[in-house]
Amino acid sequence: MSRRALPYRTPGDEAVKAQQWMLVVDGESVDLPEALPDWDYQMSLRLRNEVHVDLDAVYSSTGLSPEARLSLVVVWTATGSGLRGTAQRASLSGGGAHNVVLDIELSGTQLGGLLTLDTQLVLAEAQETGSIAAPRRGGSVLWTNKRALHLQGDAPQFPIAVVDFASTPLPADAAWHVQLSEELNTATMGALLLLVNEQKKAVVAAFQNAASPRAIDKVYLSAAYADIARTMIEHAIADPDFSEESDYAEDSLGATLQNLLSNLFPHTSVQHLRRRRDQAPSLFASEIQAAVSIFEEA
Amino acid sequence: MSRLYPRLLPWHAKALHNEYRDLDLPELTLRHDVTHLSAVFVATGGDRVGSAELTALRTKVVGLATEAGYPGASDQAARASFDLALAEMLHSEMGLVPAEAASGDVWAFLSLVLLPDVAYWRYPAPGPDRVQASDITRHVFGRLWWRAHLVHDPSEQDPYAALAILGEAAFDQIYARRKALGGSPYLVKAILRVWGGLERSGVSEREVLRDFLKRLLRLAPFMCFEAMEDSQLDAELVRAAHDSVLALREKKRRELEMAGV
pLDDT digit string, tens, across residues A197-253: 989 999 999 987 876 788 999 999 999 999 999 999 999 999 999 998 888 876 678
pLDDT band at B261 (very low <50, low <70, confident <90, very high): low
Q: Say yes or no to pLDDT of B240 above 90.
A: yes
Across the interface, whether the CB atoms of A189 and B103 are under 8 A apart is answered: yes
Residues B213 and B225 in one domain: yes
Name which of B146, B191, B105, B124 is nearest A186 in CA terms.
B105
Cα pseudo-dihedral A189, A192, A196, A197, rounded to 10: 120
Bridge partners (DSSP) of residue A36 are A151
Give the one of A71, A125, A139 whose C-beta lies nearest to B225's C-beta. A139
Q: Say yes or no to pLDDT of B73 above 70.
A: yes
Size of interface A-B (CB pairs under 8 A): 169
**Min Cα–Cα distance to chain A from B231, Å:** 9
Residue in chain B nearest A74 by alpha carbon: B227
Across the interface, whether the CB atoms of B10 and A179 are under 8 A apart is answered: yes
Residues B22 and B138 in one domain: yes
Across the interface, whether the CB atoms of B232 and A193 are under 8 A apart is answered: no
Helix (H) or strand (E) holding A221: helix A215-238
B133 contact residues in A (CB cutoff 8 A): 190
Q: A16-153 in CATH: which number? A: 2.60.40.3880
Q: Say yes or no to pLDDT of B198 above 70.
A: yes
Residue B199: domain span: 165-261
Domain end among B163, B178, B195: B163
Residues B152 and B122 in one domain: yes
Residues B191 and B213 in one domain: yes
Q: What radius of gyration, in Å, describes the C-alpha atoms of chain A?
A: 24
Residues B59 and B81 in one domain: yes
Residues B128 and B47 in one domain: yes
Across the interface, whether the CB atoms of B43 and A161 are under 8 A apart is answered: yes
Pairing type for strands A141-151 and A35-36 reads: parallel
Domain end among B144, B163, B182: B163
B179 contact residues in A (CB cutoff 8 A): 82, 249-250
B235 contact residues in A (CB cutoff 8 A): 125-126, 138
pLDDT of residue A166: 86
Cis amide leading into A7 (omega within 30): no
Contact call for residues A106 and A77 (beta carbons, < 8 A): no
Round to whole Å and give the CA distance between A127 and B176. Answer: 32
Q: For B213-229, b where at least 16 C-beta lie within 10 A, e where not — what string?
A: bebbeebbebbbbbbbb
**Min Cα–Cα distance to chain A from B95, Å:** 10
Across the interface, whether the CB atoms of B40 and A193 are under 8 A apart is answered: yes
Residue A176 three-state SS: strand
pLDDT of residue A156: 40
Task: Spell out the residues 6+ positions from residue B204 whose beta carbon is closer than 8 angstroms to its own.
Answer: B248
Beta strands in chain A (DSSP E): 16-18, 22-25, 28-31, 35-36, 45-54, 70-78, 83-92, 97-106, 113-123, 141-151, 160-163, 176-180, 192-197
What's the whole-number average pLDDT of chain A?
A: 87
Contact call for residues B2 and B95 (beta carbons, < 8 A): yes
Residues B18 and B119 in one domain: yes
Burial degree of A74 (CB within 10 A; 0-12, 13-18, 19+): buried
A151 contact residues in B (CB cutoff 8 A): none
pLDDT of residue B45: 64
Domain end among B163, B190, B210: B163
Give the count of domains, chain B. Answer: 2
Provide the residue ranges of all domains of chain A, joining segments of one domain with +.
16-153, 158-291
Residues B22 and B151 in one domain: yes
Query: How do residues B132-165 score in pLDDT, each as one tens digit?
Result: 977 788 899 999 999 999 989 888 899 998 898 8
Q: Say yes or no to pLDDT of B207 above 60.
A: yes
A141 contact residues in B (CB cutoff 8 A): 222-224, 227
CA dihedral sign, ordered A26, A81, B183, B64: negative
Across the interface, whether the CB atoms of B38 and A163 are under 8 A apart is answered: yes
Residues B89 and B48 in one domain: yes
pLDDT of residue A154: 38
Q: What is the mean pLDDT of each run of 10 residues along chain A (298 residues)?
A: 68 91 92 82 90 94 90 91 91 91 92 89 84 86 92 57 83 93 73 88 88 86 93 94 84 85 90 93 94 83
pLDDT of residue A140: 93
Pairing type for strands A28-31 and A22-25 reads: antiparallel
Residues B33 and B82 in one domain: yes
The complex's ipTM works out to 0.82
Q: In degrees, to the nearest 5, what angle opens at C-alpha B160 toward C-alphas B157 and B163? A: 140
Round to whole Å and give the CA distance between A62 and B44. Answer: 49
Residue in chain B nearest A140 by alpha carbon: B223
Q: Name the residue with higher pLDDT: B204 or B10.
A: B204
Residues B46 and B153 in one domain: yes
